[in-house]
Amino acid sequence: MRSITDDEIDFILADIERKGIVTEDVRYNILDHVCCIIENELPQNGNFKEFYRNTIARFYKKELLEIERETENLLTFKYYFAMKRTLKIIGLLSVIFILLGAVFKAMHWPGAGVIIVSGFFFFCFIFIPLNIILTFRDDKKATNRLVITLGMILTTTGIFGLLFKVMHWPLANILFQGSLAVFGLVFIPLYFFIKTRNPETKFNAIINTTFMVAAAGMLFTLLQLRPSHHTENKEKMMIETQSFVMQQLKNTNKQLLLSQEVKSAEHANFIKISKQLLAQLDENNAPTALLSSINEYNEKISEIGDTSLKSMDKKSVDYLPENSYILKLQIISNENAYLCLANNN
């Protein structure tokens, strides 16, 4: 058994470091293994440097730096397989919650908003970040990582725009159309330029770019769709008719109020609640405040107990401000019916 000298140990250590092994634990582990092999297998009169070169070659396929990189990957992605399993579970949950929320929303069942928001939350804040991390493990190029990160960010903002649109929250159009514009004008050219520079990915890059341009064009076209002139004219006529009917009812209500005195506190209270609700619709108040006022309004109608007065559908708040005109007409109609009822009494 041959003993290794201190000079030989220093030589091995310096060579290992020169080959790119910078992590101290890895460096000394390789040194220990090499020394054990040399002490057990090198003859007493053998050539140390030649035997060392043959021995160190056993530790890699192309270069010793492979060990350093593999160690970094193991340390950086210690929970790689757990993350992949989590990614699959979160992806499945996101799909289930979004589809279930869409069904609840279409059927106007309670809890639709919570389910949809939960699904989008899982997708945007857990699934997409995990996907970025796992993709970074397989692709080390900074330009590719930039493309991946930008694509994921645009996907997230676009999904948030869609969520805001479904939930009738403000800034929906800014988020969705803004992300679509950046996707078409920045991401697609950047992706095409970077990917086509590599001959291995050039063909796939051209195909993917074609699909992305087509998808962005179709989405943009859908956003810009307008109804036909025939439909616009019918809608205009309907609005004019409704405006005329509403104005006539308002005038009639004013005449009824002038022709009689307010006979009771209940009478005055109902007129006051009606006016407040109309004012809230004009100001486009938050859905929560409107729901509270509609509940109070419906309770008052229940107390009056006359079938000519119609309670307001609370689900209609989900479609404001588009539906506000119909709600106003219903409030004024109820006010007219109530004034006629009070006048007859």
Same domain, 115 and 137: yes
Q: Hey, what are 136's tokens?
A: 């970074």
DSSP, collapsed to helix, strand or coil, labels residue 1 as coil
Same domain, 219 and 83: yes
d(CA 13, CA 158): 53
pLDDT for 89 equals: 92
Q: Is residue 31 part of a domain?
A: yes
Neighbours of 191 (CB within 10 A): 20
Tell which of 191, 206, 223 closes a domain.
223
Q: Identify residue 333 by its one-letter amino acid code.
A: S
> Residue 27's domain spans which residues?
6-74
> Do residues 36 and 55 touch, judged by C-beta distance below 8 A?
no
> Looking at residues 22-38, what average pLDDT do you find?
84
pLDDT for 210 equals: 92
Name the more confident of 127 and 279: 127
DSSP string for residues in 37-57: HHHHHS-TTS-HHHHHHHHHG
Same domain, 133 and 160: yes
Per-residue pLDDT at 212 exceeds 70: yes
User: How confident is residue 321, by pLDDT bands cut at 50, 70 and 90?
Assistant: low
- Residue range 253-296, pLDDT digits in tens: 777 666 655 555 666 677 777 777 777 777 766 667 777 778 88
Domain count for the chain, please give it. 3
Q: Is residue 190 part of a domain?
A: yes
d(CA 242, CA 324): 12
Per-residue pLDDT at 32 exceeds 60: yes
Tell which of 189, 223, 257 closes a domain.
223
Residues 339-342: contacts with CB under 8 Å, at least 24 apart: 339/253, 339/256, 339/257, 339/260, 340/256, 341/306, 341/308, 342/260, 342/263, 342/267
Tell which of 163, 188, 223 closes a domain.
223
- Residue range 302-320, pLDDT digits in tens: 777 777 777 777 776 666 6
pLDDT for 228 equals: 66
Neighbours of 197 (CB within 10 A): 11
Compute the residue count for the chain: 345
- Residue range 65-121, pLDDT digits in tens: 788 877 777 666 666 777 888 889 999 999 999 999 889 888 888 888 889 889 988
d(CA 204, CA 47): 53
> Do residues 192 and 209 touch, judged by C-beta distance below 8 A?
yes
> Looking at residues 196-206, what average pLDDT do you find?
85
Q: Hey, what are 42's tokens?
A: 């090198």
Same domain, 98 and 52: no
Same domain, 23 and 129: no
pTM for the full predicted model:
0.50
d(CA 27, CA 328): 79
Q: Is residue 63 part of a domain?
A: yes
d(CA 156, CA 175): 10
Q: Is residue 1 part of a domain?
A: no
Residue found by looking up tokens 């992706």 in the block: 191
Spell out a b/e string for 25-42, using b for 16 or more CB atoms within 10 Å of the CB, else e: ebbeebbeebbebbeeeb
Same domain, 238 and 340: yes
Same domain, 218 and 120: yes
Q: Is residue 251 part of a domain?
A: yes
